Amino acid sequence: MIIGPRYKIARRLGVPVFEKTQTQKYALRSGAATPGAKGRAGGGKPRAKSDYGLGLLEKQKARMSYGVPGRQFSNYVKHAMAVKGNSSEILLQSLESRLDNVALRAGYAPTRQAARQMVSHGHLMVNGIIVTIPSYQVSVGDVVSIREGSKKKVIFNTLDERMKALKTPAWLTLNVEKKEVKVEGQPTISQSELLFNVGAVLEFYSR
């Protein structure tokens, strides 16, 4: 998934959706004038977004937060709205269950982009089988581990430090010694931990 200039995108969305924008450096830079403000007659305020525009913004925040292409994200939403149950929870479960997200949550990778590459290059296994699809959906009981031949790769040089400092979600159990993580339950994440409004995303797609 080609993303583009992360600082510019994060400023446009108004939230630090990328790891490199979750820093003090970004916070200082984001305090600058909003892109496009320069040259506006009288320096007036930007026009208020329509309901459609606000919904579109939330969708973009969600997509960028998880690094999911547009069509794939749309499929996640359509599935969440089609099946019986809480659509918000189902959508978030689908996003959190992605193998690249689990790699990030487990501390295998320092960034979401690195997690995607890690999976694509065949460094991770699910239940002892190499999986190279970042969007692969893990299930309860699955064990994600590092391929033996990959453990000495440069990308895992600081793995011990990352795992020790990591706060693992309740639905994952991390075995630091074996460097593996087990999926203990359905993924959960609170709205306060999100950078987007999941309800607004669903409303946008239900138009």
Confidence of residue 28 (pLDDT cuts 50, 70, 90): low
pTM greater than 0.95 (yes/no): no
How far is the C-alpha of 196 from the C-alpha of 58, rounded, in Å? 6
Structural domains of the chain in order of their starting residue, each with its CATH number: 6-32+48-94+194-205 (1.10.1050.10), 98-183 (3.10.290.10)
Helix (H, G, I), strand (E, B) or coil at 38: coil
**Mean pLDDT for all residues in the chain:** 83
How far is the C-alpha of 115 from the C-alpha of 98, rounded, in Å? 11
Confidence of residue 50 (pLDDT cuts 50, 70, 90): confident
pLDDT at 32 over 60: no
pLDDT at 11 over 80: no
Instruction: Give yes or no for a contact between 138 and 104, defined as CB atoms under 8 angstroms apart.
Output: no
pLDDT at 25 over 90: no
Model confidence pLDDT, tens digit, residues 128-148:
999 999 999 999 999 999 999
